[in-house]
């Protein structure tokens, strides 16, 4: 069974583990993006023929992103992409109130966490909408966060980060809505799902983890390896009924 995956933000953390674990199956074709090839040492060191690394910054203009895809996807994925995993994101100094956040903070986080995935989806759509793969439904997975919930609001400050993830969740719902009117059955029956990856011990999350009373909040931390493994299991088990739902890495469904 050959499935083609496209993962953004794969040079470290959850994204790296997704690329590592998915490419461990030689039947899979995996595209892994990084903002800088020079900083993708761990990805390069995997040295797998089915893993293709692309320099691809989601904050770049749409036309730049489109151009970056042409050669690698035409060469290594002539039948298109089956599963898009929109993992690239940032969280900087987010443990503040709305009064404390700045316009620059908001602009940066929206640009990467909400607008970036829109541009990735637009640039990948010609490849994702190609031929039906009888072995899997077309899927788009948004690595979001419970910090973006409107319902079930998380009781700690997330200032500019939380709103950017709330916007990302709306983008996911809108894509699911758009696809219901597609003329292509495999797009009409695609599965669009934002997920909460857990509170993962990554370089990006260390600041937040250190500032929270996790025991009082009944929140546990997990490793990138655990998160990626759970996400892959979740992706493999998705069915049409899961489209336009929010799912945690452990399978819990949320009202969001």
Catalytic choice (20, 130, 139, 165): 165
Give residue 78's pLDDT: 94
Would you state the structure tokens that stand for residue 81, as one six-digit string? 């992409």
Between 255 and 46, the higher pLDDT residue = 46
Sign of the CA dihedral with 102 first, then 104, 108, and 114 last:
positive
Give residue 114's pLDDT: 97
Q: Give the C-alpha separation, 21 to 36, whole Å.
A: 21
CB atoms within 10 A of CB 130: 19
Give residue 218's pLDDT: 54
Between 133 and 199, the higher pLDDT residue = 133
Give residue 1's pLDDT: 77
Q: What is the pLDDT of residues 188-197, one digit of tens each?
A: 999 999 999 9
Range of the domain at 133: 4-254
Give residue 142's pLDDT: 98
Q: What is the pLDDT of residues 96-150, one digit of tens each?
A: 888 999 999 999 999 999 999 999 999 999 999 999 999 899 999 999 988 878 7
**Model pTM greater than 0.85?**
yes
Flag the least confident range among 82-91, 103-112, 157-166: 157-166
Q: What is the pLDDT of residues 208-236, one digit of tens each?
A: 555 555 554 556 788 999 999 999 999 99
Q: 116-128 and 62-76 helices cross at what angle (nearest 10)?
A: 30
Q: What's the CATH code of the domain at 203?
A: 3.40.50.720
At a CB cut-off of 8 Å and minimum separation 6, what does 117 contact?
Answer: 8, 58, 86, 88, 142, 168, 171
Total domains present in the chain: 1
**Model confidence at 201, in pLDDT bands (50, 70, 90)?**
confident
| Pick from 143, 104, 129: nearest CA to 16 | 143
Give residue 122's pLDDT: 98
**Model confidence at 245, in pLDDT bands (50, 70, 90)?**
very high
Would you state the structure tokens that stand for residue 158, as one six-digit string? 């997330």
Q: What is the mean pLDDT of the chain?
A: 91
Catalytic choice (121, 127, 161, 249): 161
**From the CA atom positions of the chain, what is the Rg in Å?**
17
Q: Is 161 a known active-site residue?
A: yes
**Model confidence at 154, in pLDDT bands (50, 70, 90)?**
low
Give residue 205's pLDDT: 53
Give residue 254's pLDDT: 86
Between 173 and 218, the higher pLDDT residue = 173
């Amino acid at each position: 069974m050959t499935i083609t995956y496209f993962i953004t933000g794969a040079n470290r953390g959850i994204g790296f583990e997704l690329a590592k674990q998915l490419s461990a199956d030689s039947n899979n074709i995996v595209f892994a993006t990084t903002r800088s090839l020079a900083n993708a040492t761990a990805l390069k060191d995997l040295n797998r023929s089915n893993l293709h690394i692309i320099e691809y910054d989601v904050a770049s203009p749409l036309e730049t992103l489109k151009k970056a895809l042409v050669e690698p996807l035409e060469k290594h994925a002539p039948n298109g992409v089956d599963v898009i995993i929109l993992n690239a994101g940032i969280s900087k100094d987010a443990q503040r109130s709305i009064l404390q956040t700045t316009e620059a903070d908001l602009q940066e986080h929206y640009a990467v966490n909400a607008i970036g995935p829109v541009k990735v989806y637009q640039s990948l759509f010609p490849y994702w909408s190609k031929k039906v793969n009888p072995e899997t439904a077309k899927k788009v997975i948004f690595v979001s966060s419970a910090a973006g919930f409107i319902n079930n609001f998380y009781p700690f400050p997330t200032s500019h980060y939380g709103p950017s993830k709330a916007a990302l969740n709306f983008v996911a719902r809108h894509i699911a809505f758009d696809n219901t009117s597609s003329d292509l059955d495999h797009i009409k029956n695609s599965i669009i799902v934002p997920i909460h990856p857990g509170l993962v011990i990554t370089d990006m999350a260390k600041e937040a983890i250190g500032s929270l009373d996790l025991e009082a909040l009944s929140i546990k931390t997990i490793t990138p390896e655990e998160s990626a493994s759970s996400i892959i299991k979740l992706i493999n088990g998705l069915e049409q009924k899961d489209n336009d739902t929010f799912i945690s890495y452990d399978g819990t469904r949320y009202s969001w």
